[in-house]
Amino acid sequence: MSNDSNFEVGIPVIDLSSLLDLNNHNDFMKTTKSIAEACRDYGFFYVKNHGVSENVQNNLFDTLKKFFALPSHVKEKIKSQGTPGMVGYFRFQSETTAFLVNDNADWREGLYAFGDELPYSHASKEKFPLVTQNNLLPEEPANFKDVLDAYHKELKVLGFKIMSALAQGMGLKKEFFAEKFVPYSSTTIGMYHYFPSTNQPNEICCGEHTDYGVLTILMQDDVGGLEIRGEDGKWIPAPPIPGTFVINLGDMLEVWTNGSYKATMHQVRKSKSGRDRFSVAYFFGPQLESVVSPLEIKNPLIPFKERELNSNIKLPVVFGEFLEQKYRGTFPEHDY
């Protein structure tokens, strides 16, 4: 691993300053290389000096806490269950993220929203109804939409920067991924409220899974519990580090790189601190019509590793179909 990463927690922490300063080509390439190594060796890394304002992050956490503190009947005004889509509020223990591995429901409630909403006439609406419904956002707190929009705007900038570095690390043109995100990406924002442990036998509050899209940018509070599966099968904690986001790769990057970059399994362990945990996962997904299969990669910045592709993924992937199949699995009670 290059000197540009540090490992204070056993997972690389990468400083993105040089991606924001385009005048410094040498440092830019050093960072790009560190990202490529982290993608190949971990499928996970932290980023610091990422350019996202602290205010925008705190505002979203504060607003979410107020929403989740409302009585159930108020939150359920925007519930996804009973609608044709997966956006909106889902109640405690109604999602089973680990559905491919076990049927333990997640120890959390949450809210899903899309970053880019499709216009009513868009052809994908009929083709992929589950992942194209219009957002169901809370009426209270009253500024919810503005706060979420501000977050989306900044995270999109960060995501595009990381994807541009990723593409260059793979020896592709820097717009390779970005072009798959216009005019409408399928980027989804997952906002979660985890409940603390009650000493029940299952100590996991979000079951093991890989993410579905291209990359995920996670904002976690200071409670902790995220764990990633190392190559030896052991769980490695990914504790909160102030001022950072956690980045992980989704299944589509694993497919594009034919298994060399990893969509790494991860889970969240219940907190024994007695405190509730809040997190926001920004799932960067390409256009729903994107057809994804392994690329012929000739000149990666660092050599690829030969690895088997996840056998649960049938090729080629039509991203909209793949995403719908995943949400049908994670929401067993919903009538999709």
Are the C-beta atoms of 214 and 250 separated by less than 8 Å?
yes
Q: In the bound complex, what is the minimum distance in angstroms from residue 247's beta carbon to Fe ion?
A: 12
Q: In the bound complex, what is the minimum distance in angstroms from residue 266's beta carbon to Fe ion?
A: 6
The whole-angstrom separation of Cα 214 and Cα 322 is: 13
Q: In the bound complex, what is the minimum distance in angstroms from residue 103's beta carbon to Fe ion?
A: 18
Q: In the bound complex, what is the minimum distance in angstroms from residue 246's beta carbon to Fe ion?
A: 10
Are the C-beta atoms of 267 and 206 separated by less than 8 Å?
yes
Of 37 and 211, CB closest to Fe ion: 211
Contact between 211 and Fe ion by CB under 5 A: the answer reads: yes
Which range touches Fe ion (CB under 5 A), out of 56-64, 174-182, 209-217, 292-300? 209-217
Give the list of residues 6+ apart from residue 227 with CB closer than 8 angstroms, or none.
Answer: 235, 236, 237, 238, 266, 267, 268, 269
Which whole-number Å values give the CA distances from 292 to 29, 43, 59, 149, 286, in the listed order? 27, 19, 36, 29, 10
Q: Which of 264, 330, 336 is nearest to 102 (CA)?
A: 330
Of 166 and 247, CB closest to Fe ion: 247
Binding characters for Fe ion, 176-205, by CB under 5 A (x = yes): ------------------------------
Strands (E), 144-276: 188-194, 204-209, 215-220, 226-229, 235-237, 245-249, 266-269
Q: In the bound complex, what is the minimum distance in angstroms from residue 171's beta carbon to Fe ion?
A: 28
The whole-angstrom separation of Cα 201 and Cα 302 is: 43
Of 172 and 263, CB closest to Fe ion: 263
Q: What residue is closest to Fe ion based on CB?
A: 211
Q: Which of 221, 301, 206, 204 is nearest to 261 (CA)?
A: 301
What single string gives the DSSP state of each residue in 275-306?
--EEEEEEEE---TT-EE--------SS----
Contact between 227 and Fe ion by CB under 5 A: the answer reads: no
Of 75 and 108, CB closest to Fe ion: 108
Of 158 and 172, CB closest to Fe ion: 158
Of 4 and 95, CB closest to Fe ion: 95
Q: In the bound complex, what is the minimum distance in angstroms from residue 283's beta carbon to Fe ion?
A: 8
Residues 34 to 93: which contact Fe ion by CB under 5 A?
none
Query: Total binding residues for Fe ion by CB under 5 A?
Result: 1
Q: In the bound complex, what is the minimum distance in angstroms from residue 255's beta carbon to Fe ion?
A: 17
Of 4 and 211, CB closest to Fe ion: 211
Of 302 and 313, CB closest to Fe ion: 313
The whole-angstrom separation of Cα 292 and Cα 302 is: 22
Contact between 95 and Fe ion by CB under 5 A: the answer reads: no
Are the C-beta atoms of 248 and 217 separated by less than 8 Å?
no
Helices 25-41 and 144-169, interaxial angle, to 10°? Answer: 90
Which range touches Fe ion (CB under 5 A), out of 39-47, 111-119, 206-214, 223-231? 206-214
Q: SS3 of 85, please?
A: coil
Binding site for Fe ion (CB under 5 A): 211
